[in-house]
Amino acid sequence: MRSHSVSAEGGTAAVLYVDQGDTLESHIYDTIKGSDFLADQDAVEFFVNAMPAQIYQLEHWGMPWSRTEDGRIAQRNFGGYSFPRATLAGDRVGFFEMQTLYDTSRKFDNIHFYQEWYATSLIIDNGIFAGITAIDLKSGGFHAFSAKAGIIATGGAGRLYRFATYGYSSTPDGLSLAYRAGAPVEDMEFVQFHPTGLIPSGVLITEGARGDGAILINSEGERFMKKYAPEKLDLASRDVVSRAIITEIQEGRGLHDNVADMDYVLIDLRQLGAEKIKDRLSGIREIAIKFRGIDPITEPLPIRPVCHYMMGGIRTNINAETPLTGLWSAGEAACVSINGANRLGANSTSECLVFGTQAGAGAAKYAMTKSSQEPAKELIQREEKRLFDEILHGVGGENPYDIQNEVQSIMDKYSYVYRTGERLQTGLRELRELRKRSWMHVDDTSKEYNTNFINVLELEAMFDMAEVILVGALARTESRGAHARIDYPKRNDEQWLKHTLAYYSTDGPRLDYAPVTITKYKPVERHY
Amino acid sequence: MQTQQALVPTEHVELRVFRANPAKASSSHFCSYNVPLEPGMTVLSALLYAKEKLDHSIAIRFSCRMASCGSCGMKINSLPSLACYTQVKDLPKGPITVEPLDHYPLVRDLVTDFDGFFGKHRSISPFLIRRDEKEQETLESEYRQSVHELDDYLQFAYCIKCGLCNAACPTLAADPHFIGPQALGQAYRYVADSRDEAASLRVKAIDNSHGIWRCHFAGACSFVCPKGVDPAFAIQKLRRIVFSHAQRKSAELMPRRQLKS
């Protein structure tokens, strides 16, 4: 209930109004086109078909969706869509969805939450998921759980970047758990930079603002998106808009914030009028006033592209199953893949709902047929030794928080909106050198609520996934969706219409590839 | 990309941080940290500077840094506040004192135990209840709700469960079993929802000796709420509903008694 899903703002995509001209087919094609044709089309079809019922399910559980004049559920426009199908609850969609799900879970006595327990490893017995080891943060105790089935739903890894919309808890621990246990992570080089992160904090200004009529302007007051996406303008897909902003800045039409030392352009909400802003965008107005001292009713906001979403994740199929028997994954942590090389806004919370349902139902059904086994003692002892002897009582002179900041700087610098082989190579070298330094130690000696210990474990996971992103990005010698290589500016379907799979090895990620499922939508060049 | 601070900070702020670990039975004390001020610095970012650069052992709970997740509630200069939502420049000059929230068991330093809080939240059945449960799981369309009906409860649905209201509540200081403003606010949120059909169930949960009548309208809950939920207002509205339920109940009982006699 504290997860970063609470910060999703603008909408949840679903086809609700076929009578007004929306179609499932259109949501399917918009999603595939948005993905730059890297999405698995069978998964997208399943997803789009399953979504409308999810909106009604949440509504029947108490979700305060915004309403139309006739009392039906309201939707707004969003980037990359041919119909306004982002279902809204003001601009606090993720927050209300989390509250609705948490509150509804309180109906059931057999749902037990282990609040603030940190999973440190998966227990794998003969290639089958058999449980986890975990630390209870409150007491500091180390425990092993035997389990018949598991679901990883730990969200995205956006704190790999410093300028990020993500909360501090969005580190790649869940991804690293699966990766270290032998599951492949897929398409991690595709990192979404949302066009409108508020300077300097990176807090998100929802795409719903542009959906409702806000526009982007450069230092000359020009609505520059007309040059880059003549048809969709400010509502082109996120990768397109983010590249346009960086191009404007690089060509000298950005502004500069001297205090934060950041370049930016502006998002102008003024033409929406005070009433619409207060009614539909009250959350971002509150944020802009509080975190920047600007009221968007009277003044444009300074923004730049900000790390917002990982298209990649633990590889799963349509049933949300990972290649590890007994293990499921859903949400941003997983890669089904419906998002391919670029996710459309409002499809993320949708994905959580559809594939969360798949994972829950599948894991429950599987668990009913299994008996639980005591996990092997030596696995648990080995993990205990690693955690407590090697890490908690590790020694070293370097501040792990400084090292974490350096990881983020490397990612911000070398793996942002535009990339080149040379710079990715430099980033990878710097990352690997950084990893060798003596950061793996914990200064806090208390058992209870030792977040210093957890932060060091998180840093290890950050190194794992930063390396996977850089290695995958370096290998992919094309530009597709959010992965834009200046040295390979074209999409190359002949060689690269395939998913990247990264497997853990002690020498760094081992890459493999898997075909993209194409049903009936042949890849074409994208225009917005 | 450039994210370094261009200006060398010259001004500092002193953070006085409450430190204690009940498990170690050591006495509580304050530690002072001198933190260089940055423009737009929140109390949370100042605390994280202290934790990352000066003392890794400060125990603190936080996540979203945008007043949505409800994690970083603490007393800042005695007032229950969200650390991420409190700008250093908005506080009076001089040291800033941060302490754990009152009325919650202490885990360590600034971290408190919310198990009891979530238990109280659960006690009011915080979910939509329909007489026809089967229909509730039939997913072909929505329950209609007008914009006006939505407005009746929307403000109360903004609750992020940060618990500041309960920390500020003087009744909870006197009666730890008092259900508290958070749960009462949420009881009203569901009672006021036009789709819900279980007002009497929730009325029953709060109409007792540690329930709604304990509130004596200090209004501190609404004063500290970072999301404008206004639990005190919800409690006023809820009292009227509890009262009318009681009236209805006695009205229902009356004729039966007459019949029996």
The mean per-residue pLDDT over the stretch A11-17 comes to: 98
For residue A402, being part of any structural domain is answered with yes
Q: For residue A449, is pLDDT > 50?
A: yes
Residue in chain A lying closest to B146 (CA):
A71
User: Is B119 touching A (CB cutoff 8 A)?
Assistant: no
Which residues on B lie below 8 Å from A444 (Cβ)?
A: 56-57
Q: For residue A247, is pLDDT > 50?
A: yes
- The beta-carbon neighbor of A71 closest among B2, B130, B144 is B144
- Is the Cα torsion angle B209, B211, B213, B214 positive or negative in sign? positive
Type and span of the H or E element at A1: none
Contact B108 A448 (CB under 8 A): yes
User: Is A78 touching B (CB cutoff 8 A)?
Assistant: no
Query: What is the reported pLDDT for B255?
Result: 56
- What residues of A are labeled active site? 194, 210
Write the pLDDT tens digit of every residue in A339-388.
Answer: 999 999 999 999 999 999 999 999 999 999 998 788 888 989 999 999 99
The interaxial angle of helices A421-435 and A451-475, nearest 10 deg, is: 150
User: Is A276 touching B (CB cutoff 8 A)?
Assistant: no
The interaxial angle of helices B115-123 and B180-191, nearest 10 deg, is: 30
**Cα gap A301→A361, rounded to integer Å:** 43
User: Is B151 touching A (CB cutoff 8 A)?
Assistant: no
The helix/strand/coil state of A514 is: strand
Write the pLDDT tens digit of every residue in A161-215.
Answer: 999 999 999 999 999 999 999 999 999 999 999 999 999 989 999 999 999 999 9
**Shortest alpha-carbon distance between residue B33 and chain A (Å):** 16
Q: For residue B261, is pLDDT > 90?
A: no
Contact A200 B128 (CB under 8 A): no
Contact A2 B63 (CB under 8 A): yes
- The beta-carbon neighbor of B157 closest among A64, A203, A259 is A64
**Shortest alpha-carbon distance between residue A460 and chain B (Å):** 17
Query: What is the reported pLDDT for A128?
Result: 94
Share of chain A above pLDDT 90, in %: 95
Q: For residue A132, is pLDDT > 60?
A: yes
Q: For residue A396, is pLDDT > 60?
A: yes
For residue A214, being part of any structural domain is answered with yes
For residue A281, the cross-strand partners are none
Write the pLDDT tens digit of every residue in A301-321.
Answer: 999 999 999 999 999 999 999
Residue appearing with tokens 């080149």 = A420
Contact A399 B67 (CB under 8 A): no
CATH assignment at residue A239: 3.90.700.10
Query: What is the reported pLDDT for B3?
Result: 45
Backbone angles phi, psi at A19, to 5 degrees: -65, -20
- Of the residues A274, A289, A306, which one is the last residue of a structural domain? A306
Write the pLDDT tens digit of every residue in A255-278.
Answer: 999 988 999 999 999 999 999 999
Contact A56 B141 (CB under 8 A): yes
**Cα gap A132→A124, rounded to integer Å:** 9
Is it true that the peptide bond before B39 is cis, omega within 30 degrees of 0? no
Query: What is the reported pLDDT for A373?
Result: 80
How would you class B121 by CB atoms within 10 Å of its CB: exposed for 0-12, middle for 13-18, buried for 19 or more?
Answer: buried
- Of the residues A275, A306, A337, which one is the last residue of a structural domain? A306
Query: What is the reported pLDDT for B251?
Result: 75
Which residue, A186, A426, A235, A445, is CA-closest to A346?
Answer: A235
For residue A97, being part of any structural domain is answered with no
DSSP A430: H
Which residues on A lie below 8 Å from B66 (Cβ)?
A: 7, 167, 201, 203, 287, 291
Q: For residue A248, is pLDDT > 50?
A: yes
Question: Which B residues, 96 through 115, put their C-beta within 8 Å of a C-beta on chain A?
Answer: 107-109, 111, 113-115
Contact B69 A6 (CB under 8 A): yes
- What's the per-residue H, E or C state across chain B? CCCCCCCCCCCEEEEEEEECCHHHCCCCEEEEEEEECCCCCEHHHHHHHHHHHHCCCCCCCCCCCCCCCCCCEEEECCEEEEHHHCEHHHCCCCCEEEECCCCCCEEECCEECCHHHHHHHHHCCCCCCCCCHHHHCCCCCCCCCCHHHHHHHHHHHHCCCCCHHHHHCHHHHHCCCCCHHHHHHHHHHHHCCCCCCCHHHHHHHHCCCCCHHHCCCCCHHHHHCCCCCCHHHHHHHHHHHHHHHHHHHHHHHHHHHHHHC
**Shortest alpha-carbon distance between residue B116 and chain A (Å):** 13
Structure tokens at A143: 């425990």
Contact A2 B69 (CB under 8 A): yes
Backbone angles phi, psi at B86, to 5 degrees: -115, 115
**Cα gap A464→A121, rounded to integer Å:** 14
Question: Which A residues, 486 through 525, put their C-beta within 8 Å of a C-beta on chain B?
Answer: none
Q: Which of A8-22, A119-133, B1-15 has the lowest mean pLDDT?
A: B1-15
Write the pLDDT tens digit of every residue in B34-83.
Answer: 999 988 899 999 999 999 999 999 999 999 999 999 999 999 999 999 99
**Cα gap A230→A528, rounded to integer Å:** 7
Q: For residue A31, is pLDDT > 80?
A: yes
Which residues on A lie below 8 Å from B144 (Cβ)?
A: 70-72
The helix/strand/coil state of A72 is: coil
Query: What is the reported pLDDT for B253?
Result: 67
- Strand arrangement of the beta sheet that strand A185-186 belongs to: A334-335, A313-315, A185-186, A498-503, A510-515
Give the residue with greater pLDDT, A440 vs B251: A440
CA neighbours within 13 Å on the CB side: how many for B13? 26
Contacts of A413 (CB under 8 A, 6+ apart): A423, A427, B1
**Cα gap A412→A160, rounded to integer Å:** 8
Structural domains of chain B sorted by starting position, each given as residue range(s) with its CATH number in brackets: 12-112 (3.10.20.30), 115-260 (1.10.1060.10)
Question: Which A residues, 236 through 275, put their C-beta within 8 Å of a C-beta on chain B?
Answer: 258-263
Query: What is the reported pLDDT for A55?
Result: 98
User: Is B228 touching A (CB cutoff 8 A)?
Assistant: no
The helix/strand/coil state of A268 is: strand
CATH assignment at residue A437: 1.20.58.100
For residue A232, being part of any structural domain is answered with yes
Mean pLDDT of all residues in chain A?
96
Contact A458, A166 (CB under 8 A): no
Which residues on B lie below 8 Å from A62 (Cβ)?
A: 127-128, 190, 193, 195-196
Which residue, B44, B215, B227, B107, is CA-closest to A283?
Answer: B227
Q: How far does Cα B209 stand from its chain's mean position?
A: 22
Q: Which of A132-146, A286-300, B150-164 has the lowest mean pLDDT?
A: A286-300
Type and span of the H or E element at A104: helix A93-105
- The beta-carbon neighbor of B108 closest among A167, A412, A449 is A449
User: Is B21 touching A (CB cutoff 8 A)?
Assistant: yes
Residue appearing with tokens 């090389």 = A341
**Shortest alpha-carbon distance between residue A66 and chain B (Å):** 8
Contact A169 B111 (CB under 8 A): no
**Cα gap B166→B183, rounded to integer Å:** 9
The helix/strand/coil state of A433 is: helix
**Cα gap A262→B2, rounded to integer Å:** 6
For residue A122, being part of any structural domain is answered with no
Q: For residue A17, is pLDDT > 60?
A: yes
Residue appearing with tokens 């595709």 = A190
User: Is A21 touching B (CB cutoff 8 A)?
Assistant: no
Question: Which A residues, 317 through 376, put their C-beta within 8 Å of a C-beta on chain B?
Answer: none
- Does residue A300 sit in the same domain as residue A200? yes
Write the pLDDT tens digit of every residue in B103-118.
Answer: 999 999 999 999 999 9
- In single-letter form, the type of residue at position A187 comes to D
For residue A171, being part of any structural domain is answered with no
Confidence of residue B246 (pLDDT cuts 50, 70, 90): confident
Contact A189, A488 (CB under 8 A): no
Range of the domain at A228: 196-306
Confidence of residue A22 (pLDDT cuts 50, 70, 90): very high
Query: What is the reported pLDDT for B260?
Result: 45
- In single-letter form, the type of residue at position A417 comes to V
**Cα gap A314→A330, rounded to integer Å:** 9
The helix/strand/coil state of A121 is: strand
Is it true that the peptide bond before B141 is cis, omega within 30 degrees of 0? no
Q: How far does Cα A239 stand from its chain's mean position?
A: 14
**Cα gap A48→A25, rounded to integer Å:** 8
For residue A148, the cross-strand partners are none
Domains in chain A, number = 2
User: Is B25 touching A (CB cutoff 8 A)?
Assistant: no
**Cα gap B190→A62, rounded to integer Å:** 8
- The beta-carbon neighbor of B64 closest among A61, A167, A409 is A167
Query: What is the reported pLDDT for B256?
Result: 53
Confidence of residue B247 (pLDDT cuts 50, 70, 90): confident
Q: Which of B17, B53, B63 to mutate to test the interface with A (most CBs of A within 10 A)?
A: B63
For residue A40, being part of any structural domain is answered with no
pTM for the model stands at 0.95
**Cα gap A360→A352, rounded to integer Å:** 11
**Shortest alpha-carbon distance between residue A134 and chain B (Å):** 18
- The beta-carbon neighbor of B71 closest among A2, A52, A402 is A2
For residue A295, being part of any structural domain is answered with yes
Q: For residue B131, is pLDDT > 90?
A: yes
